[in-house]
Amino acid sequence: MQNVLTNDEKKYLLNSIRAIKDFPKPGVIFRDITTLLNNKEAFNFLMDHLENRYKSYNLDFVSGIESRGFIFGAALSARLRVPFVPIRKPHKLPYITLSQKYSLEYGVDEVEIHIDAFLNKNDAKVLLIDDLIATGGTAKASVELINQTKAKCVEACFLINLKSEFKGSEILKNITKVYSILEI
C-alpha cells in the first residue's frame, strides 16, 4: 500500500461514511463516521493505510483529539506500538494539566493534556490525529499544546478535510505538516 490513496480508494472510504443532510442545522451536511467504524473492511483498510504511512516516521507518540480522534489514534498507536496520548476538553484529566485556549464563533474553548503526557521527553515526535478538520481551531490549539510540552508535532492527520467551506488545514500548515485522507 502506498502513502497516498488512489481516487478509487478514497471513493471507497468516502462511500463508507454516511452523509446526513441538514444536521445539526439546515444547509449542513454532517459526515457520520460511525458507518465507517461499523464496516470492518473499510476500517481495517483505513488503519492499514495509516499504519503504512506512519511506520517510517519513527513516532514516539500518537495523540488524538477528544473524542473521535481517540478512536483512530488509539487504534493507530496500537498498530505502531507507541503510546497514545489523549487531548481532552477541560476538567476531564485527573492529573496536572497544561491547557491551550482557542477562539470559537461565539466565545472561547480550550483543550488540555497531562503535563507529563509525553513522559517529559524533549523533542518527542508526535502525530496528532482526528476525524475531521473544518475551521482548525481545536487542531491548532492541540498542536500548540503538544509543542508546549517540548514535544514536537511532526504531522496532523485527518480523515476528512472540509476544504471548500473552511480554511482550517491552511491555517494549520503554518505550524505543522498536514495530511488529509479525504478532502470534501
pLDDT of residue 1: 41
Beta bridge partners of 62: 84, 127
Nearest residue to 154 via CA among 4, 52, 54 = 54
pLDDT one-digit tens code per residue, 101-151: 998 777 899 999 999 999 999 999 999 999 999 999 999 999 999 999 999
184 — pLDDT class (breaks 50, 70, 90) = very high
pLDDT of residue 143: 98
pLDDT one-digit tens code per residue, 79-100: 999 999 999 999 999 999 999 9
163 — pLDDT class (breaks 50, 70, 90) = confident
Q: Compute the radius of gyration of the chain from its Cα atoms.
A: 16
How many Å apart are CA 151 and CA 147, to the nearest integer? 5
Domains of the chain, CATH where assigned: 58-183 (3.40.50.2020)
pLDDT of residue 3: 81
CA atoms within 13 A on the CB side of 51: 16
Parallel, antiparallel, or unpaired for β 29-32 and 18-21? antiparallel
pLDDT one-digit tens code per residue, 35-79: 999 999 999 999 999 999 999 999 999 999 999 999 999 999 999
